[in-house]
Amino acid sequence: MIPLQNNPVGKIMIVGGGIGGIQAALDLSESGFYVYLLDKGPTVGGTMAQLDKTFPTNDCSTCILSPKLVEIAGHPNIEIMTFCELLDLEGDPGHFKAHVQQKPRYINMEKCIACGLCAEKCPKKAPDLFNTELGKRKAAYIPFPQAVPLKYALDPDYCLYLTKQKCGLCKKICPVDAVEFEQKIETFDVEVGAVILSPGFELALTQKDGEYGFGRYPNVVTSLQYERMLSATGPYEGHLRRPSDGKSPRKVAWIQCVMSRDISRNRPFCSSVCCMHAAKQAVLTRSHLPESETVIYFMDVRAHGKGFDEYVERAASGYQVQYRRSMISQLYLNPQKDNLIIETFDHHLNNTQEEEYDLVVLSSGFQPGQGWKTLADRLGVSLNPYGFACGDFDEPVSTSRPGVYVCGVIESPKDIPETVIQAGAAASEASTLLSNSRKFLKTDENKSAGEETDEGKDAEHISKVGVFVCHCGSNIASVVDIPSLLSEIEKIEGVALAEDLMFACSAETQDRIAERIKKHGINRVVIAACSPKTHEPLFRKTLKQAGLNPYLVDMANIRNQCSWVHAKDPKTATAKAMNLIRAAISRAEKLEPLTEETYEIVNNALVIGGGLAGMTAALTIAEQGFEVHLVEKTERLGGFARNLTHTLEGHSPPKLARLLEDRVRSHDRITLYLNSELSEHSGYIGAFKGTITNEQKEHEISYGAAVVASGGKAYQPMEFNCGQDDRVVTQVELAKRLQKDPQWPKQLKSIVMIQCVGSRSETFPWCSRVCCSAAVKNAIAMKEINPDIQVIILYRDLRAFGFKELYYLKARRQGTLFFRFIPEETPVVYDDGGDLIVDFTDRSSHQEFRVKPDMVVLSEGIHPVSDNEKIAGMLKLSRTPEGFFLEAHVKLAPVEFPTAGIFLAGLAHSPRFVDEAIAMAKCAAQQAVKILCRDKMKTSPTFAVVDPDLCSSCLACVRLCPFGAPFINEDGVAQIVPAKCRGCGICPSECPARAISLRHSTDDQTVSEIDALLKKASLDI
Amino acid sequence: MNLAFYPGCSLEGMANDYARSIIAVFEKLDVGLVEIDDWTCCGATAAHSLSDAMSVVLPAKNLAAAEKMGLDIVSPCANCFNRLTYSRKMLSKNIYDVPWNVTGKSKVHDMTRFLAQPDMISQIKDNVLMPLKGLNLVSYYGCQMVRPPRITGFTDYENPRTMDHIAEALGANALDWSYKATCCGASIGLGRRDIQLTLSARLIQKARQTGAEAIIVSCPLCQANLDMVQTEKGSQKVPIFYFTELMRLAFEGKACSIKNFRMHLTDPGPLLRKKALID
Amino acid sequence: MEQVTEKKDTYTPKEISATRRIIGDRGEYFLRSVEGETMANISACYQCERCTNACPVSIYMNINPHQVIRYVQLGWREELLRSTTIWVCLSCEMCTTYCPNDVDVAKTVNHLRNMAFRSTVPPAEKVLAVFHETFVKELQRFGRVNEFWLVGSLNSHPDVLKEKIKTGALKEELFLGLELLKKGKLKLIPHRSKEMKKIRDICLKETRGTI
């Protein structure tokens, strides 16, 4: 991607406001561009907003999404355009004219204050699409409480006035006169430089299909409906019930691969994510209803992602989720109970078992939404036969139309982290293309906090605390007695206002809080809601908006710590909530206004690792105008890809490596260090310093951000006589042999491949993701040269996810035989008088077999490189027990680390395919660009400070700090570098002279908080 | 409008009550049935068990005859329908040695689907003299009429509705159940009666569980099978009607004699009297 | 169906146990020939067992439908022709209808049944095999199949007679026959087609004189 020189428009249109679109919007707006974020519905949020919880952490999906929603809602460089669809695109990259159609909302967005009166009074009910039609909503509606923008809309298919010119009640009662029945469809043009398509997906299963009686039997639901059924904001308010009679199900079954891996329905591909969401839903079901029984009917457990196998294992052994490897044909209804009967053949008992379930969940595959094909045709974006805009292997988010990019499920079925990665990659493409029109971000656009407040007034303050108690829908309010809390809070001295809020985190609520602060002269704020970890940054912004110093807010986590853990004991939950709120009020009174410091940014980057990911990251950063130091340990670039021959889809990774190498070597903004290692690293986000060492010399460098792409390595097996018998080779060795001697398979009669060698074992418990495809690829290659060769693949779960399933099918059609084994019956390979012999047991025919192949090929796993340990130590990064790097958040921050300014890409993160590694590298590079494109950086004001009068220079802090923040200054006393300090609190607690105090967690603040907690509970309801 | 009528072997013997009810019913409808002259056996399960090619060629005689008549074929028997349809489809490949000339211009209709077309349903409604009010029944389609869908054309193979629509047009309550197309085992009844009895008895039990007082069928073998299996004493009997028998009953009202049902082994008399559908 | 907590079997290498089978090289040939004649997509199977779960008579089979597909892939003709599976199959087409890979399982089983008739392998379900043959014989006699004559000629087959006397089925069938006769459900005089020669020629050619 070369930046355009023709003075391009620095604006990007993103079509589809799901998590992919949101992430791309944030990445671009933080990189100095203006974003139009279109959604055809009334709100952004996409499918992720409909999910209940996300694995593996079982975080509430809305809870991790809504901070992002709030961020885009308030972002000055993002314009959210709801009810909008892109119709057509004219022009060329850099200068597109986008034709947009906007359907009417029938509510004036400027006027609507989301009071909800219209919905309350609306007499007409409509199917609740957000709740997957499991319930009803009014014809005047918001889809969900955290919707962004939080504006009501009228449903033209149901509204009595819009359908029959009757009623009009909402217009009469709207206090702000926002109802506009006369709104019409509008079309207009928008000038943009690039377009990102992230329209998401819909379930492939419809009632028309008749599959498993969906639409015929009331207690058969889709996976997405089940998410809503589990959700606290869903139709059953988080109490798991079944549709027919509202009873809690005792026995729930999941059927996998519905409308997936099904040639007879022309859906021969795998939808990639259903195995994991079924596992998650079963785990959640078991935690909702511990006495329930959960059974998953499946073919292969496709747990090919990082930590996925571990989660499935936890589901099976920890939560007793039963896994049954059996595809059932149809569901039968027990008409008396509306239960569903599943018939399966039991091989051990040799009979057909009838099992009855209260509820059956169909894990439906995905398909592109309505209208996508028309749009793609108009835009000239070519699609695969199933309507997906599959990216190329070297340009995974590009389409056939230059300047138009894709991300998320519309590219191919994928999960949230891979969508987020592609969103970052798509943003990087647009950002590179338009980089000559980037507006560099100035920190004075966001004035540092302290400057805005009148500190003098604060110094001698009499605290006036405003307390806001959140209902969190029903999350808190259904357990904790909020009215009692409020009346109790009002009695506390110093409290100027106590008020409850439906959703404290929703964008519109922030205005209300700010308004209250101003009106009541509040100078300290307590929010009693959820976790400060996710939501404190939001409320700090709100304080700033209200003209208060953002650090004058404290939170009481009455959801996680009260209503959730004491759900069955509302009295205790309420009493505890009161205690926590009292403590928070007490602490809030002692809070001091804090100011943020700023410092200059070093506008270049360090990339560790010269493989495909490293080179891609370096190029992505360099092409956007920033200097890059690229460090490679070995004497050549290309990394893991040099070992490969071609991919399943027929592309050549070594060729790509050579192309990238040429570009890297000729790029004048990339300084390449071969045979080199990073030997020292210090500093902090925006201003790192490091030393690159090779045999000859050391280079001192400085950089504002770093990308770790240290790669991975192929496992060298010792199992199955590998290394001793030269007839036993690895897939990489086989592929090389095939490349060197293409006619060689003609000399062979029979070959056996064994999967999961160095993967999914006790020693190496992770799935290496790529080996199933490697085996399928080599099987196809051999069969194409010699159709008579017998190829036998021994596998455990064939994880050919997404469109790789098509190649699995091709291999089967070519006659490759796939036999499934279990770890307890691992195949045995041995030499018998010169004959190579493989003994194994097939689990589907329950037959023991023996083969005498010419060769045995082991599908070796991908392992982390040993250097990771050193890098992790030097850069203070965490790793997984397996030795891969551990990202900041599995779902929404897959390329970030807890240590700011350092990003992660490629095999260093986890085993992955080339296209996935490339996307990840682009995403990581874009995160670096988000730092480099600023002039200054702000520090967190919550750092530790040393009182020089008390310091005895004992060096305790210097030794203990994990981030290297303290040092002994010229005066011989300890000093702490604010930008490095992460505010962890180790040094203040260890300092023997008690010379260190942590701003925002001072002794004074903590003691008063504890004192308040220890006061006898006054709320005795 | 006329149709070439292919009764099939069973309608001459075990299912001659089916044949009579069909003739009675079609007399009232605006469709004429012209029996194919000298029709021969479709080959049933046995022919394809021995030779797939034989099962393709044997029905050709009947297809050719219908083409000569210039009429589409209607087949009341599920198995005949399946075999004729399969033969017609396979013959289009022109790889078989066939002594009759078949071009494929005569289509093969299964009788239920023919009668469930909207205009036929309205004709049926017009002819109802005595609505079958309060009669709770399930329709049973069996295998051969609906499967495999790419031969039979039943895309809703799990939940076919043709007989349900007809039953509803007659005023009966057609209950939904999951066993509409679950095999009754008839095809191996003469060799493995144990299997056939197990499968059929289960269907009767499931129908009772659904609250059905009767089952309507269109397949002679299914009828015989489900009819014969209800020998045990004491249990609630579920009469097995050909759907055309109930059409006849509704069309003729009280004029319809109980004698029309004399061939049933499971006597429908008590049920029909209870529902006041017959004197 | 199989629980994931699968049973662990002990393993003794070198000794080929009675049940351990060698995968030879004849699979490919047999697979391609059956696939060629049936167009049944047999190689596409991924062993999901949907056919076996759909089959109403799996429990009466010694080789389940999904295993039939596997055995064809392995070229195990003999086992298949000796199986009860090919005879108890009802041709109900559940397996084919529900197969996600468009494998025509029913057609495959039927093809094996066709092969069995032409082979010297004795059928595992003698009466069922004789039934099919008798049916076609009757068809060859009149062009239509008369139920009364069919049952009569089936039961006069010595093997069938022996079997049915042994199991008591004969007595049951006689009583049932009487009942049916009383009800008028049996037609005693069959119709004879005018084109018997053509019909006989077809049967003779396609069964290659095996009946």
A991-1017 pLDDT tens trace: 999 999 999 999 999 999 999 988 765
Contacts of A824 in chain C (CB under 8 A): 6, 8-9
Per-residue confidence (pLDDT) for residue A845, from 0 to 100: 84
* Residues A855-876 as b or e (16 or more Cβ within 10 Å = b): bbbbbbbbbbbebbeebbebbe
DSSP chain C: --BSSPPP----SSS--TT-EE--S-HHHHHHHHHHHH---GGG-----HHHHH-TTGGG-SS-HHHHHHHHHHT-HHHHHH-SHHHH-----HHHHH-TT---HHHHHHHHHHHHHHSSSPPSSHHHHHHHHHHHHHHHHHBS--HHHHHHHHHTSHHHHHHHHHHTHHHHHHHHHHHHHHHT----SPPB-TTHHHHHHHHHHHHTT--
Chain B touched by C117 (CB under 8 Å): yes
Average pLDDT value for residue range A259-275? 96
Per-residue confidence (pLDDT) for residue C170, from 0 to 100: 86
Per-residue confidence (pLDDT) for residue C209, from 0 to 100: 66
User: Are B129 and B250 spatial neighbours (Cβ–Cβ below 8 Å)?
Assistant: yes
d(CA A68, CA A166): 40
Pairing, β A331-334 against β A339-346: antiparallel
Contacts of B156 in chain A (CB under 8 A): 210
Domain coordinates in residue numbering, chain A = 1-103+185-201+368-440, 104-184, 202-366, 454-590, 600-711+865-934, 715-861, 944-998
pLDDT tens figures, A429-447: 999 999 999 987 665 444 4
Backbone angles phi, psi at A177, to 5 degrees: 60, 45
- With a cut of 70, list the residues of chain B below it in pLDDT: 234
Tokens of C47: 């062993």
pLDDT tens figures, B36-50: 999 999 999 999 999
Contacts of B176 in chain A (CB under 8 A): 216, 333
d(CA A905, CA A37): 27
B2-112 CATH, one of 1.20.1050.140, 3.30.450.20, 3.40.50.360, 1.10.1740.110: 1.20.1050.140
DSSP A20-49: HHHHHHHHHHTTT-EEEEE-SSSSB-TGGG
d(CA B142, CA B122): 26
Full set of structural domains in chain C with CATH: 27-118 (1.10.1060.10), 126-207 (no CATH)
CATH number of A104-184: 3.30.70
User: Are B8 and B76 spatial neighbours (Cβ–Cβ below 8 Å)?
Assistant: yes
Q: Is A56 a residue whose pLDDT tops 90?
A: no
Binary contact (A341, B178; C-beta < 8 A) = yes
Task: Please give the residue of chain B at the shortest CA–CA distance from C187.
Answer: B13
Q: Of the candidates A756, A822, A825, A817, which has an alpha carbon nearest to the alpha carbon of residue A792? A: A817
Same fold, A202-366 and A715-861: yes
Binary contact (A216, B156; C-beta < 8 A) = no
Q: What is the topology classification, in CATH, of domain A600-711+865-934?
A: FAD/NAD(P)-binding domain (3.50.50)
Binary contact (A347, C1; C-beta < 8 A) = yes
Closest CB from A263, A329, A750 relative to C101: A263
Per-residue confidence (pLDDT) for residue A461, from 0 to 100: 63
Contacts of A796 in chain C (CB under 8 A): none
A202-366 CATH, one of 3.40.50.10420, 3.30.70.420, 3.40.190.10, 3.50.50.60: 3.50.50.60
Contacts of C75 in chain A (CB under 8 A): none
Per-residue confidence (pLDDT) for residue A815, from 0 to 100: 95
- Total residues found in chain B within this entry: 279
Average pLDDT of chain C to the nearest whole number: 88
Tokens of A565: 């853990």
Element at A960 (helix H, strand E): helix A956-960
Distance (Å) from the alpha carbon of A322 to chain B's nearest alpha carbon = 26
Distance (Å) from the alpha carbon of C50 to chain B's nearest alpha carbon = 15
Name the residue type at position C16: I
Most C CBs within 10 Å: which of B9, B56, B58, B100, as the mutation test of the C interface? Answer: B9
User: Are A379 and A404 spatial neighbours (Cβ–Cβ below 8 Å)?
Assistant: yes
d(CA B143, CA B203): 13
Binary contact (A327, C48; C-beta < 8 A) = yes
Handedness of CA A1004, A1007, A1011, A1012 (dihedral sign): positive
Binary contact (C136, B54; C-beta < 8 A) = yes
Per-residue confidence (pLDDT) for residue C17, from 0 to 100: 57
Average pLDDT value for residue range A243-247? 95
**pLDDT band at residue A844 using 50, 70 and 90 as cut-offs:** confident
Chain C touched by A843 (CB under 8 Å): yes
The answer to whether domain A454-590 has CATH 3.40.50 is yes
Proportion of chain A above pLDDT 70, given as a percent:
97
Distance (Å) from the alpha carbon of C106 to chain A's nearest alpha carbon = 15
d(CA C70, CA C52): 12
- Interface partners of chain C (CB pairs < 8 Å, 3 or more) are A, B
Pairing, β A862-864 against β A712-714: antiparallel
Q: Of the candidates B58, B76, B72, B81, which has an alpha carbon nearest to the alpha carbon of residue B151? A: B81
Task: Please give the residue of chain B at the shortest CA–CA distance from A211.
Answer: B158
Average pLDDT value for residue range A406-411? 97
- Interface partners of chain A (CB pairs < 8 Å, 3 or more) are B, C
Binary contact (B46, C135; C-beta < 8 A) = yes
Contacts of B263 in chain C (CB under 8 A): 183-185
Q: Is the model more confident about A613 or about A391?
A: A613
**pLDDT band at residue A893 using 50, 70 and 90 as cut-offs:** very high
Average pLDDT value for residue range A181-190? 97
User: Are A946 and A975 spatial neighbours (Cβ–Cβ below 8 Å)?
Assistant: yes
Backbone angles phi, psi at A379, to 5 degrees: -80, -15
Contacts of A331 in chain B (CB under 8 A): 178
Stretch 287-326 of chain A: residues touching chain C, C-beta under 8 Å: 299, 316, 322-326
Q: Is A456 a residue whose pLDDT tops 80?
A: no
A441-to-A25, A30, A601 alpha-carbon distances in Å: 16, 8, 12
Per-residue confidence (pLDDT) for residue A534, from 0 to 100: 67
| ∠ CA B213-B216-B221, rounded to 5° | 125
Distance (Å) from the alpha carbon of A264 to chain B's nearest alpha carbon = 10
Residue B4: partners with Cβ closer than 8 Å, 6 or more residues away? B34, B35, B36, B65, B66, B69, B71, B72, B73, B74, B106
Per-residue confidence (pLDDT) for residue A452, from 0 to 100: 46
Query: Cα–chain-centroid distance for residue A888?
Result: 11
Q: What is the topology classification, in CATH, of domain A944-998?
A: Alpha-Beta Plaits (3.30.70)
Element at A79 (helix H, strand E): strand A78-81
Binary contact (B13, C186; C-beta < 8 A) = yes
Q: Is the model more confident about C56 or about A70?
A: C56
Average pLDDT value for residue range A455-483? 79
Q: Is C93 exposed, middle or buried (0-12, 13-18, 19+ CB in 10 A)?
A: buried
Per-residue confidence (pLDDT) for residue C2, from 0 to 100: 47
Average pLDDT of chain A to the nearest whole number: 93
Binary contact (C91, B143; C-beta < 8 A) = yes
CATH number of A1-103+185-201+368-440: 3.50.50.60
User: Are A449 and A550 spatial neighbours (Cβ–Cβ below 8 Å)?
Assistant: yes
d(CA A705, CA A887): 16
User: Are A210 and A56 spatial neighbours (Cβ–Cβ below 8 Å)?
Assistant: no
Chain B touched by C87 (CB under 8 Å): yes
Tokens of A481: 């007695």
Distance (Å) from the alpha carbon of C34 to chain B's nearest alpha carbon = 13
pLDDT tens figures, A680-726: 998 889 999 999 999 888 999 999 999 999 999 999 999 999 999 99
**pLDDT band at residue C67 using 50, 70 and 90 as cut-offs:** very high
Closest CB from A264, A323, A348 relative to C99: A264
Binary contact (A264, C94; C-beta < 8 A) = no
Contacts of B157 in chain C (CB under 8 A): 97
Contacts of C56 in chain B (CB under 8 A): 182-183, 185, 199
Contacts of C194 in chain B (CB under 8 A): 38
Average pLDDT value for residue range A452-474? 70
Q: Is A563 a residue whose pLDDT tops 80?
A: yes
Element at A875 (helix H, strand E): helix A867-875
Binary contact (C1, A263; C-beta < 8 A) = no
Reported ipTM: the value is 0.95
Binary contact (C101, A809; C-beta < 8 A) = yes
Tokens of A911: 């085993």
Architecture of domain A715-861: 3-Layer(bba) Sandwich (3.50)
Closest CB from A326, A818, A850 relative to C22: A850
Binary contact (B178, A332; C-beta < 8 A) = yes
**pLDDT band at residue A905 using 50, 70 and 90 as cut-offs:** very high
The answer to whether domain B128-274 has CATH 3.40.50.1820 is no
Q: What is the dihedral of CA A683, A687, A693, A698, to 10 degrees?
A: -110
Q: Is C179 a residue whose pLDDT tops 60?
A: yes
d(CA C97, CA A943): 68
Binary contact (A824, C55; C-beta < 8 A) = no
Average pLDDT value for residue range C131-135? 94
Closest CB from C22, C25, C66 relative to A844: C66
Chain B touched by A334 (CB under 8 Å): yes
Most B CBs within 10 Å: which of C90, C113, C176, as the mutation test of the B interface? Answer: C90
User: Are A240 and A288 spatial neighbours (Cβ–Cβ below 8 Å)?
Assistant: yes
Lowest mean pLDDT among A267-276, A472-481, A517-526: A472-481
Contacts of B212 in chain A (CB under 8 A): none
Binary contact (A850, C48; C-beta < 8 A) = no
Tokens 């409909």 belong to which residue?
A50
Binary contact (C100, A322; C-beta < 8 A) = no
Q: What percent of chain A is helix, strand and coil (3-state, nearest 5)?
A: 30, 25, 45
Task: Please give the residue of chain C at the shortest CA–CA distance from A352.
Answer: C59
Q: How much is the pTM?
A: 0.90
Most A CBs within 10 Å: which of B150, B178, B203, as the mutation test of the A interface? Answer: B178
Chain C touched by A264 (CB under 8 Å): yes
Strand partners, A357: A340
Distance (Å) from the alpha carbon of A774 to chain C's nearest alpha carbon = 18
DSSP A459-494: HT----EEEEEE-TTTTTTTTS-HHHHHHHHHTSTT
Domain coordinates in residue numbering, chain B = 2-112, 128-274
Per-residue confidence (pLDDT) for residue C211, from 0 to 100: 65
Binary contact (A216, B210; C-beta < 8 A) = no
Tokens of A869: 């340990």
- Interface partners of chain B (CB pairs < 8 Å, 3 or more) are A, C
Task: Please give the residue of chain B at the shortest CA–CA distance from C186.
Answer: B13
pLDDT tens figures, B71-110: 999 999 999 999 999 999 999 999 999 999 999 999 999 9
Task: Please give the residue of chain A at the shortest CA–CA distance from C47.
Answer: A844
Pairing, β A750-757 against β A855-860: parallel
Tokens of A933: 């494109």
d(CA C170, CA B191): 11
Distance (Å) from the alpha carbon of C116 to chain A's nearest alpha carbon = 22
